[in-house]
Amino acid sequence: IRGAGTWKSERVIASRQGPHLRLAGGGAGIINFCANNYLGLSSHPEVIRAAVEALEKFGAGLSSVRFICGTQSIHKDLEEKIARFHQREDAILYASCFDANAGIFEALLTPEDAVLSDELNHASIIDGIRLCKANKYRYKHMDMQDLEAKLKEAQKHRLRLVATDGAFSMDGDIAPLREICQLAQKYDALVFIDECHATGFLGPNGRGTDELLGVMDKVTIINSTLGKALGGAAGGYTTGPKPLIDLLRQRSRPYLFSNSLPPAVVGCASKALDLLMESNAIAQSMAAKTQRFRSKMTAAGFTISGKDHPICPVMLGDARLASVMAEDMLNRGIYVIGFSYPVVPKGKARIRVQISAVHSDEDIDRCVEAFTEVGQKHGALP
C-alpha cells in the first residue's frame, strides 16, 4: 500500500470535535474544514447534555441485540421520531449507515429482482449490493439516458430498485431525483436514496434531497446516518413503508446480529432531531457560509466541484499536489485532507473542504487566504 502511495495516516486530535481543534503534540486553534459536522451539533451543549442524561438513566449499553434484550423505550422513541422527521411510516436503527446499507438489499431483493446503482455510489451501497443475489445494473453517474436504458433492460425482472446517494460525498453534487423518480414511475421501479450528506440540512426544513427536489412522496426508502449532521455520534437507519421496516427487523443481518445503539448515542441523535424539528433556522444556518466559501474560492481562481452543497471539493488533478497542499494548509492552521486514487478517479485528486454552520466568516476567509497562498506556492494558481 505504501509503495502505491495510498497509505492513509491519521492525525490525532486532542480536543472535542468542532470548528476549532487542538492536535495532539501540536498547536491549538486549528480550523477544521473536514468534518461532516454540517450543523455543528457534535459539540452542541444540549446534544451533549442529552447524551449524559441518557447514559445516566439507561446505562452504558445493552449487552444485547435488539430482539433479545436490547430494545429500550428510547430506541422506539428515536425510531418514531426519525419516521416523523422524514414523513415516513416507520424507521429502524442500525449501529451505522454502513450497516443499514449492508442490511437492506439482501433482505429486500431476491435473484428474481434487479438493482440499478449509480456508478459513484458510496462504498457501503456497493458492498450491500454485492451481498444480495439480485441482478445488478450499474448506470453512469447521474446519467438519465443510461439509467433509462438499464431500466428498459431490467423490465424482465420481478422488481426493480434504483439506488443512489442523494448527495455524493466526493463531488458535492446532488442526484437528479426528480428525473430519477419520473423514470422509476415510468418503468415501475422503487427508489432508494442514501442521505448521509443531506439529512438535517438540505431542503427548506433539512429533511434532505427529497425535500429539496420536491419528491418526498416519490422516494420509497431512505437510509441515513446519525453520525454526521444529526449529532455526529454514530448510528444509522432505514426509514420507509412499515412492511419494509417490519421485514428488516426479521431479516436484516447487521440489525439481527449486532449490538443495540448505546443510550448516550440515542440521546444525542434524539436531541439533534428535536432541535431540527423545533425550527428550520439550524437547517438554513449553513447555506450563506457555503456560498461565501464557494464564491471567494472561485474568484481566487480555484475550481470547486458541485453546487450549493457544503461539500466543496477543490479540484487539483494531481495526487501529489493535493497531498502537499493539504500538509501546507495545516502549517497555516487549516485542517483539510487531500483525496486521490482509489478514493476518487485517477487524475481527479482534490482537497475536500466541508463547511459547517459553526464556522465564522473569519474562519472561512482565513481558509480562502491560506488556499490562495498555498496554491500560488505550489503552482495550482497563476
d(CA 193, CA 191): 7
- Shortest Å distance, C-beta 43 to ligand PLP: 18
CB of 224 to ligand PLP, least distance (A): 8
Q: In what order do the strands lie in the sheet with 160-165?
A: 90-94, 236-240, 221-225, 189-194, 160-165, 114-118, 135-139
CA distances from 6 to 1, 3, 343 (A): 6, 8, 9
Among 40, 232, 236, 262, binds ligand PLP (CB under 6 A): 236
Count Cβ atoms within 10 A of the Cβ of residue 150 and give its class: 0-12 exposed, 13-18 middle, 19 or more buried: buried
List binders of ligand PLP among 89-108 (CB under 6 A): 96-98, 101
Q: Which is nearer to ligand PLP, 169 or 356 (CB)?
A: 169
Q: Cell match 450543523: residue?
A: 39
User: What is the smallest separation between the CB atom of 140 and ligand PLP, expressed in angstroms?
Assistant: 18
Dist. CA 185–CA 229, nearest whole Å: 31
Contacting range for ligand PLP; rule: CB under 6 A; set: 105-113, 189-197, 200-208, 296-304: 189-197
Residue 166 CB, shortest distance to ligand PLP, in Å, is: 8
Asked about 76 being catalytic, the answer comes back as no
User: How many chain residues interact with ligand PLP (CB under 6 A)?
Assistant: 14
Task: Output the smallest distance, CB 36 to ligand PLP, in A.
Answer: 7
Residue at shortest CB range from ligand PLP: 96
Among 44, 66, 122, 294, binds ligand PLP (CB under 6 A): 122
Please state whether 87 falls in left (phi above 0), alpha (psi between -120 and 50) or beta: left
The stretch among 20-28, 80-88, 193-201, 364-372 that binds ligand PLP (CB under 6 A) is 193-201
Nearest distance from C-beta of residue 57 to ligand PLP, angstroms: 25
Q: What is the number of other CB atoms lying within 10 angstroms of the CB of residue 203?
A: 21
Least distance (Å) between residue 125 CB and ligand PLP: 7
Please identify, using beta-carbon distances, which residue of 169 and 323 lies nearer to ligand PLP: 169
Among 124, 135, 305, 356, binds ligand PLP (CB under 6 A): 124
Angle between helices 263-278 and 45-58 (to 10 degrees): 140
Judged by beta carbon, residue 227 or residue 306, the one nearer ligand PLP is: 227
Q: Which residue has the cell 451505522?
A: 96
Q: Binding ligand PLP by CB under 6 A: which of 42, 117, 169, 290?
A: 169
Active site residue 197: yes
In terms of DSSP H, where are the helices of 239-360?
242-251, 253-256, 263-278, 281-284, 287-300, 319-331
Of residues 37, 205, 225, 252, which one binds ligand PLP by CB under 6 A? 225
CB neighbours of residue 83 within 10 Å: 19
The residues, ordered by sequence, that sit 6+ positions from 255 with a Cβ below 8 Å of its Cβ are 65, 66, 92, 93, 94, 99, 103, 248, 249
State which residue, 98 or 137, has the beta carbon closest to ligand PLP.
98
The catalytically annotated residue of 197, 296, 309, 348 is 197
Q: Is 196 in the site for ligand PLP (CB under 6 A)?
A: yes
Among the listed residues 165, 171, 210, 363, the single contact to ligand PLP using CB under 6 A: 165
Say how many residues make up the chain: 382
Residue 97 or 163 with smaller CB distance to ligand PLP: 97
Candidate list 150, 228, 271, 296, residue with the active-site label: 228
Helices (H) and strands (E) in the chain, counts: 15, 13
Residue at 43: amino acid letter: S
| Number of alpha carbons in the 13 Å side-chain half-sphere of residue 275 | 26
Q: Binding residue for ligand PLP (CB under 6 A) from 106, 194, 211, 363?
A: 194
In 10 A of CB 361, how many CB atoms?
Answer: 11
Map residue 51 onto helix, strand or coil: helix
| Catalytic entry in 96, 169, 340, 356 | 169
Q: Is 228 a catalytic residue?
A: yes
Active site members: 169, 197, 228
- Residues at the site binding ligand PLP, with contacts judged by CB under 6 A: 96-98, 101, 122, 124, 165, 169, 194, 196-197, 225, 227, 236
